[in-house]
């Protein structure tokens, strides 16, 4: 189990790839670990913030440094290098009711890249083919975030996964199963209808 002190030690030593590997290894998101390798500092900072929050340590002295790193690494287009890392960074910045321009720009980035079918491409170019693994990862990170659900075509994303759930590979299926648990019932159930996600 990673402790606050160990996370800080790896961060201060700038061992971002190692920190990311150790943070993601025990998580369901490990199936998409390869999608986060292009920007290890951003992904490690974001996942470290998530883990510190899970450990009930949002007041740790490392947290403000991680937040500053995420804000500094945000690109001019609003993303953090790729779709999966952007979703992870947004999740981290939204912890503890986070607010700000970086979050709004990141949400707009994901909304822009969402394809007509409802999911996202692996490579952050809208005309690229949709990618179920990356899209499941996005939903696993942000499905419980109301601002995210309002910024994108959330119903289209859910409908895509519902209609393709039997054709998902094992990695995408495991992350999608995890994402489904993060979706509030109110987001999936129209008034007077029963949810079909169970």
Run of H or E including 168: none
Burial class (CB in 10 A: 0-12, 13-18, 19+), 95: middle
Distance of CA 40 to the CA centre of its chain: 14
**Residue 192 pLDDT:** 41
- Residue 1 has a pLDDT of 64
Give the Cβ contact number of residue 147 at 10 Å. 14
What pTM, to 2 d.p., does this model score? 0.90
Q: Which residues of the chain have pLDDT under 70?
A: 1, 126, 186-198
Q: What is the pLDDT of residue 193?
A: 43
User: Model confidence over 13-59: pLDDT tens digits?
Assistant: 999 999 999 999 999 989 999 998 789 999 999 999 999 999 999 99
Cα–Cα dist 165/168, whole Å: 6
Instruction: Please state the domain extents for the chain.
Output: 4-188
């Amino acid at each position: 189990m990673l402790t606050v002190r160990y996370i800080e030690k790896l961060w201060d030593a700038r061992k971002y790839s190692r920190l990311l590997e150790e943070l993601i290894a025990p998580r369901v998101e490990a199936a998409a670990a390869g999608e986060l390798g292009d920007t290890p500092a951003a992904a490690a900072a974001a996942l470290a913030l998530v883990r510190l929050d899970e450990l009930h340590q949002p007041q740790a002295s490392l947290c403000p440094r991680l937040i500053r790193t995420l804000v500094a690494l945000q690109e001019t287009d609003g993303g953090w290098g790729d779709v999966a890392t952007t979703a992870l960074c947004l999740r981290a910045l939204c912890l503890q009711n986070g607010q700000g321009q970086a979050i709004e720009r990141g949400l707009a980035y994901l909304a822009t890249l969402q394809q007509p079918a409802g999911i996202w491409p692996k490579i952050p170019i809208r005309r690229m083919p949709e990618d179920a693994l990356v899209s499941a990862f996005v939903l696993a990170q942000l499905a419980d975030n109301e601002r995210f659900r309002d910024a994108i075509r959330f119903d289209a994303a859910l409908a895509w996964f519902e209609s393709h759930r039997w054709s998902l590979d094992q990695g995408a299926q495991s992350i999608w199963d995890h994402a489904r648990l993060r979706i509030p019932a109110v987001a999936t159930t129209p008034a007077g209808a029963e949810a079909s996600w169970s």
